[in-house]
Amino acid sequence: MKRNTLLATLFATAALAGCTNVGGTPTTGSTPPPATESSDTGSPTAVELGIDKFKDKPCDFLTAAQVTQLGNVKAPTTRQAALGPACSWNGKDILEDSAYEISTASEQSYETLLGNSRKFPVFSEKTIQGIRTLSSDDTDGTRACETIVEAGKTGAVLVHVDVAMKKVPTQKPCAESERVAALVIGNLRG
């Protein structure tokens, strides 16, 4: 399925959860700040991160201690997302607590996802811990962002963040999705 279908599903879920848009200065065309290492895109050679063991257990991408770093979130729920299994940690208070989702796209190549994401108003590529990633949002990047982690020749991990309305002034969505992506990469590397 196409990335737009995934994004539409994610935004529809957020809308059903009662999220509303917040005004502000658009960041169209801006790039999110670096998560950890460099802003270089790295080599086109994929590093195998071995996501297959998480295919049926997407909530295991994060440890229990790392989940506490997400803030005040509800118990995780799983679902079949457009590109693969997904685990969501929704904020307990939609106004105060951000929501997170991690999913796998084991049958998609990073290059395909990269090509689909380049057209979004908010888009950047960088390496996190030596792994190629991209961050994007199909609106202005003030409320949501998705970071995609290359996991091999085929396969990727998608980290999506919906920032709570009251955190919009202080929590930058792409910086937050990149922070969580760094946790995932660290766990995949062991």
Q: What's the pLDDT band for 53 if we cut at 50, 70, 90?
A: confident
Count of all residues that appear for the chain in the document: 190
Q: What is the mean pLDDT of residues 70-98?
A: 95
> How is the chain split into domains, by residue range?
3-14+30-189
| pLDDT for residue 51 | 84
| pLDDT for residue 189 | 86
| pLDDT for residue 91 | 96
The three state secondary structure string of 78-98 is EEECCCCEEEEECECCCCCCC
| pLDDT for residue 46 | 58
- pLDDT tops 70 at residue 18: no
| pLDDT for residue 19 | 34
Q: What is the mean pLDDT of residues 30-40?
A: 38
Q: What's the pLDDT band for 37 if we cut at 50, 70, 90?
A: very low
Q: DSSP characters for the chain?
A: --HHHHHHHHHHHHHHTT---------TT--PPP-SS-S----SSPPP---GGGTT-GGGGS-HHHHHTT-SBPPPEEEE-SSSEEEEE-BSSTTTS-EEEEEE-TTS-HHHHHHHHTTSSEEEEEEETTEEEEEEESS-SSSEEEEEEE-SSS-EEEEEEE--GGGTTT--HHHHHHHHHHHHHHHHH-
Q: What's the pLDDT band for 48 if we cut at 50, 70, 90?
A: confident
Q: What is the Cα gyration radius of the chain?
A: 15
What SS3 state is found at 57?
Answer: coil
Distance, in Å, from the CA atom of 123 to the CA atom of 65, rounded to the nearest integer, reads 30
Dump pLDDT digits (tens) for 143-182.
Answer: 999 999 999 888 999 999 999 999 999 999 999 999 999 9
Residue 3 CB contacts under 8 Å (≥ 6 apart), including other chains: 83, 113, 116, 117
Residue 75 CB contacts under 8 Å (≥ 6 apart), including other chains: none
Dump pLDDT digits (tens) for 122-138.
Answer: 999 999 999 999 999 99
Specify the pTM: 0.75
Distance, in Å, from the CA atom of 186 to the CA atom of 190, rounded to the nearest integer, reads 6
Architecture in CATH for domain 3-14+30-189: 3-Layer(aba) Sandwich (3.40)
| pLDDT for residue 26 | 35
